[in-house]
């Protein structure tokens, strides 16, 4: 995964404390991220999510009016099941219950305050890399489906011509001449689909191990 592509990702920070937001913005800036926004009012998350369309959400848990758990419940109603939008919970609540509840509501990772800036950078980078890899797989899958449909259409057209050619009365030379190009197009379409599937299999690889220091981005 190209590092610059990851660094161009959109990140939304949600925390009611200005000091915490300033710290996270400093972490992101030092790591090279440049496309991030912050909210101190968690009630605005859904609207900002719709407008900004973040690739990652950094979410505090203990906030007034609407806590992080409630925010995740709201987001679950907006995000389709086949869309991967990671949420990194960053909270002062280090209890096992808080972690389990956050993860059960859709959080993909969990950090406790005060944060270690290097660890935070690694976790942010890995979550975004996973997000982008998932999008690559989705795009490749959609393209394969498109070509499969084209191949099916070619094959159906060839079958229709063949049925006409083998109708009572025998196979005429003219019918065979009409049939051959259709079969060649069908074969070419299927062959192209196979090549694309092979290329897709070779290019899509699992993301690096989460939080592995040996895979750390330059900070």
Residue 67 in domain = yes
Residue 210 in domain = no
**Are both 95 and 193 inside the same structural domain?**
no
pLDDT tens for 134-177 read 777 666 656 666 666 676 666 667 666 666 665 666 555 565 56
pLDDT at position 215, please?
Answer: 38
Task: Provide the pairing of β-strand 11-14 with 87-91.
Answer: unpaired
Q: Which of 20, 5, 26, 27 is nearest to 61 (CA)?
A: 20
Burial of residue 19 (number of CB atoms within 10 Å: 0-12, 13-18, 19+):
exposed
Q: Sign (positive/negative) of CA torsion 218, 24, 130, 145?
A: negative
Domain boundary among 117, 134, 151: 134
**Are both 92 and 147 inside the same structural domain?**
no
Residue range 10-14: mean pLDDT, rounded:
98
pLDDT tens for 87-131 read 999 999 999 999 999 999 999 999 999 999 999 999 999 999 999
**Are both 10 and 79 inside the same structural domain?**
yes
**Are both 151 and 44 inside the same structural domain?**
no
**Are both 80 and 146 inside the same structural domain?**
no
**Are both 170 and 62 inside the same structural domain?**
no
**Are both 187 and 121 inside the same structural domain?**
no
Domain that residue 94 falls in:
3-134
Return d(Cα 29, Cα 111) in angstroms, integer: 19
pLDDT tens for 17-66 read 999 999 999 999 999 999 999 999 999 999 999 999 999 999 999 999 89
Residue 217 in domain = no
Return d(Cα 27, Cα 22) in angstroms, integer: 9
**Are both 106 and 8 inside the same structural domain?**
yes
Name the DSSP class of 42.
G
Average pLDDT, the chain: 80
For 95-207, strand residue ranges (E) read 109-112
Residue 215 in domain = no
Residue 211 in domain = no
Contact indicator for 157, 187 with CB cutoff of 8 Å = no
**Are both 113 and 30 inside the same structural domain?**
yes
Domain boundary among 134, 151, 168: 134
């Amino acid at each position: 995964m190209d590092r610059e592509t990851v660094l161009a990702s959109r990140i939304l920070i949600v925390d009611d404390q200005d000091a915490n937001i300033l710290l996270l913005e400093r972490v992101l800036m030092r790591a090279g991220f440049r496309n991030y926004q912050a909210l101190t009012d968690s009630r605005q998350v859904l609207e900002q999510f719709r407008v900004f369309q973040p690739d990652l959400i950094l979410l505090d848990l203990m906030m007034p009016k609407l806590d992080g758990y409630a925010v995740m419940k709201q987001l679950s109603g907006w995000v389709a099941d086949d869309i991967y939008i990671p949420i990194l919970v960053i909270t002062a609540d280090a209890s096992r219950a808080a972690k389990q509840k956050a993860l059960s509501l859709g959080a993909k990772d969990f950090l406790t305050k005060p944060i270690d800036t290097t660890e935070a950078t690694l976790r942010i980078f890995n979550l975004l890399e996973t997000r982008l890899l998932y999008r690559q797989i989705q795009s490749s899958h959609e393209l394969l489906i498109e070509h499969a449909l084209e191949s099916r259409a070619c094959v159906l057209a060839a079958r229709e011509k063949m049925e006409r050619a083998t109708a009572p009365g025998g196979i005429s030379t003219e019918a065979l001449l009409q049939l051959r190009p259709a079969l060649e197009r069908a074969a070419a379409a299927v062959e192209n689909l196979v090549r694309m599937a092979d290329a897709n299999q070779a290019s899509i690889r699992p993301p690096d191990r989460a939080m592995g220091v040996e895979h750390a981005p330059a900070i």
